[in-house]
Structure 1
Amino acid sequence: MNNSVTSASYIRNLSYSLRRRLSDFLDPQDRWMEVLTSIRKPSGEPRYSQLHVRRFEGLAAQGKSPTVELLVDWGTTNSTVGELVCILKSCKLLAAASLLLPEQGAVSQETQETQRASPAVDTKSRLPTRLLEETKTRAPPEVSVLPSHIPQELSGELTTGFSSFLYNELMEITGNFDDRPISDGGSRLGEGGFGTVYKGLLHDRPVAVKKLNPMDDISLDELQVQFNQEIQALRVLKHENLVDMVGFSCDGQHPCLVYALMVNGSLLDRLACLEGSPPLSWRQRSLIAEGTARGLEYLHGNHHVHRDVKSANILLDENLVAKISDFGLTRASAKRTSTTMMTERIVGTRAYMAPEALRGEITPRSDVFSFGVVLLEILSGQRPADEEREPQFLMEMRHDIDDEDEELTFEDFLDKKMSDWEPSQVESVYSLAGSCLHDRKNRRPVIEQVLMELKGVVKSISLNS
Structure 2
Amino acid sequence: MSGAEFQNEFLYNLPASVMNHFTRIMDSLSRSDWILFASQVISDQTELRLLEQSPRRTDNLIHKWGCRNGTVGELLKILEGLQWFRARDIILECMYAFCIIVPCHLLASIISTISHALTSQVCPCANRMDPPPLSSTAMSWPFEEIQSGTCNFSPCKQIGEGGFGHVYKAVMRNTEFAVKKLKEDSHLDWNVVKESFRTEVEKLSQYRHPNIMDFVGYSIEGQTYCLIYVYMPKGSLEDRLRCEDSDALSWSQRVNVLLGTAKAIQYLHSSSPALIHGDIKSSNILLGDHLEPKLGDFGLARFCRNPNKTPGKTSTVAQTATVRGTLAYLPEEYLKDGQLGVEIDIYSFGVVMLEVLTGRQALEVNGQSRTVYLKDLVNEEEDDGRSFSKGKHSRELSYAYAAENICRKHLDPRLMSKDTPSPHGSMEISQLACQCLDRRRKKRPRMTEVGESIQMLVCLLYYDFSRVFLLN
Is the TM value for this pair above 0.5? Answer: yes
* Partner Cα distance (1:429, 1:12) in 2: 44
Kept in 2: contact 1:167–1:252 (CA 8 A): no
* Partner Cα distance (1:195, 1:383) in 2: 21
Establish whether residue 167 from structure 1 lines up as the match of residue 112 from structure 2. no
* Partner Cα distance (2:115, 2:353) in 1: 39
Residue 257 of structure 1, CA deviation: 0.5
2:364 to 386, 390, 396: 386
Kept in 2: contact 1:229–1:328 (CA 8 A): yes
Kept in 2: contact 1:59–1:65 (CA 8 A): no
Structure 1 letter corresponding to 2:177: V
1:361 to 339, 349, 362: 339
Aligned pairs, how many? Answer: 373
* Partner Cα distance (1:150, 1:239) in 2: 32
Q: Deviation digits for residues 118-173 of structure 1, max 9, x if unmatched?
A: 14599xx99xxxxxxxxxxxx99987789699844624xx1222221122211101
* Partner Cα distance (2:135, 2:282) in 1: 28
Kept in 2: contact 1:229–1:329 (CA 8 A): yes
Residue 423 of structure 1, CA deviation: 4.8
* Partner Cα distance (2:298, 2:113) in 1: 19
Establish whether residue 301 from structure 1 lines up as the match of residue 270 from structure 2. yes
Establish whether residue 396 from structure 1 lines up as the match of residue 381 from structure 2. no
Kept in 1: contact 2:407–2:430 (CA 8 A): no
1:413 to 401, 410, 413: 410
- Alpha carbons of 1:415 and 1:117: their partners in 2 closer, same or farther (altered >3 Å)? same
What is the DSSP-based 3-state SS (H/G/I as helix, E as strand, rest coil) of the residue aligned with 1:250? strand
Q: Deviation digits for residues 356-379 of structure 1, max 9, x if unmatched?
A: 111211110111111100000000
Matches within 5 A, 1:309-388: 309-334=280-305, 340-345=311-316, 346=319, 347-348=321-322, 349-358=326-335, 359-388=337-366
* Partner Cα distance (2:208, 2:29) in 1: 57
Matches within 5 A, 1:196-207: 196-207=166-177
Residue 198 of structure 1, CA deviation: 0.4
* Partner Cα distance (1:247, 1:309) in 2: 22
* Partner Cα distance (1:270, 1:228) in 2: 30
Kept in 2: contact 1:187–1:200 (CA 8 A): yes
What is the DSSP-based 3-state SS (H/G/I as helix, E as strand, rest coil) of the residue aligned with 2:267? helix
Establish whether residue 254 from structure 1 lines up as the match of residue 224 from structure 2. yes
Matches within 5 A, 1:435-454: 435-454=435-454
| 255-264 or 326-335, larger mean C-alpha shift | 326-335
Kept in 2: contact 1:353–1:366 (CA 8 A): yes
Compute the RMSD of aligned alpha carbons: 4.2
Establish whether residue 243 from structure 1 lines up as the match of residue 208 from structure 2. no
TM-score by length of 2: 0.68
- Alpha carbons of 1:459 and 1:444: their partners in 2 closer, same or farther (altered >3 Å)? same
Kept in 2: contact 1:391–1:397 (CA 8 A): no
2:252 maps to 283
Kept in 1: contact 2:106–2:189 (CA 8 A): no
Residue 243 of structure 1, CA deviation: 0.4
Q: Deviation digits for residues 223-249 of structure 1, max 9, x if unmatched?
A: 211111110111111111110110110
* Partner Cα distance (1:217, 1:168) in 2: 27
Structure 2 letter corresponding to 1:163: M
Residue segments in structure 2 that go unaligned for 5+ positions in a row? 1-19, 31-53, 81-89, 388-401, 466-472
Residue 330 of structure 1, CA deviation: 0.3
1:88 maps to none
Matches within 5 A, 1:8-19: none
1:455 maps to 455
Residue 400 of structure 1, CA deviation: 4.5
* Partner Cα distance (1:165, 1:320) in 2: 28
Matches within 5 A, 1:87-106: none
1:22 maps to none
Residue 293 of structure 1, CA deviation: 0.5
- Alpha carbons of 1:61 and 1:352: their partners in 2 closer, same or farther (altered >3 Å)? farther
Structure 1 letter corresponding to 2:430: Y
- Alpha carbons of 1:301 and 1:337: their partners in 2 closer, same or farther (altered >3 Å)? farther
- Alpha carbons of 1:68 and 1:332: their partners in 2 closer, same or farther (altered >3 Å)? farther
- Alpha carbons of 1:56 and 1:268: their partners in 2 closer, same or farther (altered >3 Å)? closer
Residue 64 of structure 1, CA deviation: 2.2
- Alpha carbons of 1:399 and 1:362: their partners in 2 closer, same or farther (altered >3 Å)? closer
* Partner Cα distance (1:387, 1:190) in 2: 22
* Partner Cα distance (1:334, 1:456) in 2: 31
1:233 maps to 203
Q: Deviation digits for residues 408-451 of structure 1, max 9, x if unmatched?
A: 76334111122687555100100110111111101111111111
- Alpha carbons of 1:325 and 1:56: their partners in 2 closer, same or farther (altered >3 Å)? closer
- Alpha carbons of 1:337 and 1:319: their partners in 2 closer, same or farther (altered >3 Å)? farther
Q: Percent identity?
A: 28
2:431 maps to 431
Kept in 2: contact 1:279–1:418 (CA 8 A): no
Establish whether residue 113 from structure 1 lines up as the match of residue 98 from structure 2. yes
What is the DSSP-based 3-state SS (H/G/I as helix, E as strand, rest coil) of the residue aligned with 2:414? coil
Kept in 2: contact 1:401–1:410 (CA 8 A): no
Residue 199 of structure 1, CA deviation: 0.5
1:24 maps to none
Kept in 1: contact 2:105–2:189 (CA 8 A): no
What is the DSSP-based 3-state SS (H/G/I as helix, E as strand, rest coil) of the residue aligned with 1:63? helix
Structure 2 letter corresponding to 1:300: H
- Alpha carbons of 1:372 and 1:119: their partners in 2 closer, same or farther (altered >3 Å)? farther
What is the DSSP-based 3-state SS (H/G/I as helix, E as strand, rest coil) of the residue aligned with 2:375? helix
- Alpha carbons of 1:300 and 1:147: their partners in 2 closer, same or farther (altered >3 Å)? farther
Higher share in helix: 2
- Alpha carbons of 1:66 and 1:449: their partners in 2 closer, same or farther (altered >3 Å)? farther
